[in-house]
Structure 1
């Protein structure tokens, strides 16, 4: 008894040619969209907003950022702009935010002002906590709660270090310091004299100022105005006691 062989169906042919064509057309479409996007105004920087500057001109920030209206929005990263603006001496921190489409926001935080200095020409200079000097002649926000530095030579490294030390002093204690003048000695080349708004005269050194400020504040809060010496040892003599010239103390200091 014979049996009929089953008819084998031919496998369906895959339409490889159609799929490849669709893939090519899709990629071509994406490429055209990308070209159109990057050549349109929507992909360009349309506005640069700069905020937080007081002693740094917005033009300086813009030049340092190295971006301008019309540049490619995605051409420079936020981190790159932050690094560039951060090289400006008065700048402490920078935060760059991109808001699509087209807006670049640059928020600057400058080093705080710790003192002021009046030049022989009558120009007011603000001294920042990192030692940077900036012009403050046209600043309407000059504060009276910062000390004034008098008698300092241009480029004095002790003055630069002093501004850094002042930056470590709390604002409340810093506000009581009225004037600071250099008073170097053999033992203390960085010795200074501080006059306070509470009528004290303080002899100390830049290198120990940050460590002595708490003790100084304690004396000011509990004693009558007088002369305070804070060097190797701390002494206090009220003005109403007519302090005697301490020649022995000066001699000991110069030999230390």
Structure 2
């Protein structure tokens, strides 16, 4: 009888899918473990926060506004969040944040420039910024060539308007203005009176100051001290020569 062919039994192949799942789980566990170790280590913390450009806010005030400090998680706060928080400080115009791993956060502050000053009752000075914000002057840091604002009420809307206008004018055109006081009328609610270091008295309006400022400097450079009105129509009158007060000479008689 012919022999029957016995089929060859196939060997079981290893279960590749099961092995891959085990490897994937091990890798995932390793990544999680390394992540836990990383975020618990000092390398993931803020080691330094560096501020530059801030004159009207201290580092401590900025840190409080940011809500972070050295030792906080480096990746816990984004650059955009830091900018949004610091934007709540009125004296700040622009913020640049640079996070450098590991640990350094560098923040560059651009503040609104000072356009005028005021004298407080206690003898200290305050600076008015271009956006109308009033900030205390620290360590006597008063810039030369800025006018003194006197007799202004804190809630006067024209005060903010004046600061905004002064912020648009180059410093060299306002350098001779020493004092600005409010002088409103029915026709000109924003009328002001200015005194210059060159002894001129100038009457104008905040809304006209930008267009009149160059003419003002031209008159100051070419005319004798006097009163200058610069509204819709301009006029100028000199104070005239100042005579020294002299005592009359006594007559003498020869005896």
| Class of the TM-score when normalised by the shorter of the 2 chains | 0.7 to 0.9
Mark the structure with the bigger radius of gyration.
2
Secondary structure of 1:240's counterpart equals coil
Partner residue, 2:39? 38
Deviation of the 1:93 alpha carbon: 1.0
In 2: Cα distance, 1:210 partner to 1:13 partner:
89
Structure 2 unmatched ranges of 5 or more: 1-6, 243-255
Deviation of the 1:69 alpha carbon: 1.8
Partner residue, 1:27? 28
Deviation of the 1:215 alpha carbon: 2.3
Secondary structure of 1:62's counterpart equals helix
In 2: Cα distance, 1:25 partner to 1:206 partner:
73
In 2: Cα distance, 1:203 partner to 1:241 partner:
21
In 2: Cα distance, 1:90 partner to 1:11 partner:
80
Structure 1 unmatched ranges of 5 or more: 1-6, 243-256
Correspondence 1:121 to 2:137: no
Partner residue, 2:226? 226
In 2: Cα distance, 1:156 partner to 1:123 partner:
21
Q: CA RMSD in A?
A: 2.4
Alignment of structure 1 residues 240-255 onto 2, 5 Å? 240=240
In 2: Cα distance, 1:18 partner to 1:184 partner:
87
Partner residue, 2:75? 74
In 1: Cα distance, 2:176 partner to 2:236 partner:
18
In 1: Cα distance, 2:181 partner to 2:208 partner:
16
Partner residue, 2:161? 161
* TM score, norm. by length of structure 2: 0.84
Secondary structure of 1:167's counterpart equals helix
Alignment of structure 1 residues 170-181 onto 2, 5 Å? 170-181=170-181
Partner residue, 1:191? 191
In 1: Cα distance, 2:162 partner to 2:201 partner:
17
* TM score, norm. by length of structure 1: 0.84
Deviation of the 1:13 alpha carbon: 4.5
State the number of aligned residues: 236
Give the 3 Å change call, closer, same or farther, for CA 186–13 of structure 1 in structure 2: same
Misfit runs of 4+, over 6 Å = none
In 2: Cα distance, 1:16 partner to 1:160 partner:
73
